[in-house]
Structure 1
Amino acid sequence: MLDIQQAPSKPPQTTGWLALAEALGPQLAESEQAADISDQYVLENIKRLKEAGFTAAGVPTQLGGGGASHAEMCNVLRILGQHCSSTALALSMHTHQVMIPTWKWQHQQMAVEGLLTRVAQEKIMLLSTGGADWLNGSGTATPSEGGFIINSRKGFVSGSPTGDLLITSAIYDDPTAGKTVLHFALPMKSPGVSIDSVWQAMGMRGTGSHTVLLEDVFVSEQAISLRRPAGKWHPAFHLITLIAIPIIYSVYVGIAEAARDLTIQNAQKRRDDDHVCYLVGGLENELTNAKLVQQQMIAIAASQSPSIETTNQIMTGRTLITQSVLKVVDAAMEITGGLAFHRPYGLEKLFRDAQGARYHPMREEVQRKLAGQLALGNTPEIL
Structure 2
Amino acid sequence: MSNLSNVTATANKASVEELSVVDIAKTLAPAIAARAGMLDAEERFADENYALLKQAGLVEAAVPSELGGRGAEVPELAEMLRTLAQACGSTALAFSMHTHQVAIPAWRWRHQKVEAVAPLLKRVASERIILLSSGGSDWIGGSGTAEKVEGGYRINARKAFTSGAEAGTILMTGAIHEGADGARTVVHFGVPMAAAEVRVEETWHTLGMRGTASNDVIIDGLFVPDASVAFSRRAGEWHPLFQVIATIAFPLIYAVYLGVAERARDIAVDLVRKRPPADHLLCLAGRMDTALKAARIAHGSMLEAVARNAPSAETVNDVMIGRTLVARHAIETTELAMELAGGAGFYRSHGLERCFRDVQGARYHPLQPSQQARYAGAMALGQSVAEIY
Task: Tell me, yes or no, whether TM beats 0.5.
Answer: yes
- Does the 8 Å contact 2:268/2:345 carry over to 1? no
- Find out whether 1:99 has 2:110 as its counterpart: no
| Structure 1 segments (4+ residues) deviating >3 Å | none
Aligned to 2:351: 346
Question: C-alpha separation between the residues in 2 aligned to 1:345 and 1:12?
Answer: 35
SS at match of 1:55: coil
Using the size of structure 1 for normalisation, the TM-score is: 0.95
Question: C-alpha separation between the residues in 2 aligned to 1:142 and 1:16?
Answer: 45
Q: For 2:262, give the aligned amino acid.
A: E
- Does the 8 Å contact 2:146/2:176 carry over to 1? yes
Runs of 5+ in structure 2 lacking a partner? Answer: 1-14
Aligned to 1:79: 83
Q: Residues 338-377 of structure 1 correspond to what in structure 2 (within 5 A)?
A: 338-377=343-382
Aligned to 2:250: 245
- Does the 8 Å contact 2:186/2:235 carry over to 1? yes
Aligned to 2:149: 144
Q: Residues 157-176 of structure 1 correspond to what in structure 2 (within 5 A)?
A: 157-176=162-181
Task: Select the residue among 296, 302, 308 that pairs with 2:307.
Answer: 302
Using the size of structure 2 for normalisation, the TM-score is: 0.93
Q: Residues 1-383 of structure 1 correspond to what in structure 2 (within 5 A)?
A: 12-13=16-17, 15-111=19-115, 112-176=117-181, 178-270=183-275, 272-380=277-385, 381-383=387-389
How much has 1:19 moved relative to structure 2?
A: 1.5
Question: C-alpha separation between the residues in 1 aligned to 2:312 and 2:93?
Answer: 26
Aligned to 1:5: none
How much has 1:12 moved relative to structure 2?
A: 5.0
Runs of 5+ in structure 1 lacking a partner? Answer: 1-10
- Does the 8 Å contact 2:142/2:175 carry over to 1? yes
Q: For 2:112, give the aligned amino acid.
A: Q
Q: For 1:134, give the aligned amino acid.
A: W
Aligned to 2:10: none
How much has 1:230 moved relative to structure 2?
A: 1.2
| Total equivalences in the alignment | 373
Identity of aligned residues (%): 44
Question: C-alpha separation between the residues in 2 aligned to 1:85 and 1:267?
Answer: 23
- Does the 8 Å contact 1:164/1:187 carry over to 2? yes
SS at match of 1:231: coil
Aligned to 2:11: none
- Does the 8 Å contact 1:82/1:257 carry over to 2? yes
How much has 1:271 moved relative to structure 2?
A: 5.9
Q: For 1:64, give the aligned amino acid.
A: G
Bigger CA drift: 175-184 or 260-269? 175-184
How much has 1:16 moved relative to structure 2?
A: 2.0
- Does the 8 Å contact 1:204/1:353 carry over to 2? yes
Sort the Cα spacing of 1:14 and 1:90 in 2 relative to 1 into closer, same or farther, 3 A: farther
SS at match of 1:168: strand
Question: C-alpha separation between the residues in 2 aligned to 1:65 and 1:12?
Answer: 10
How much has 1:375 moved relative to structure 2?
A: 1.1
> What are the Cα deviations for residues 307-353 of structure 1, in whole angstroms up to 9, with x where unaligned?
11110000000000000011011111111111111111211100000
Sort the Cα spacing of 1:14 and 1:167 in 2 relative to 1 into closer, same or farther, 3 A: farther
- Does the 8 Å contact 1:14/1:68 carry over to 2? no
Question: C-alpha separation between the residues in 2 aligned to 1:369 and 1:170?
Answer: 26
Question: C-alpha separation between the residues in 2 aligned to 1:348 and 1:299?
Answer: 32
How much has 1:191 moved relative to structure 2?
A: 2.5
Question: C-alpha separation between the residues in 2 aligned to 1:167 and 1:145?
Answer: 23
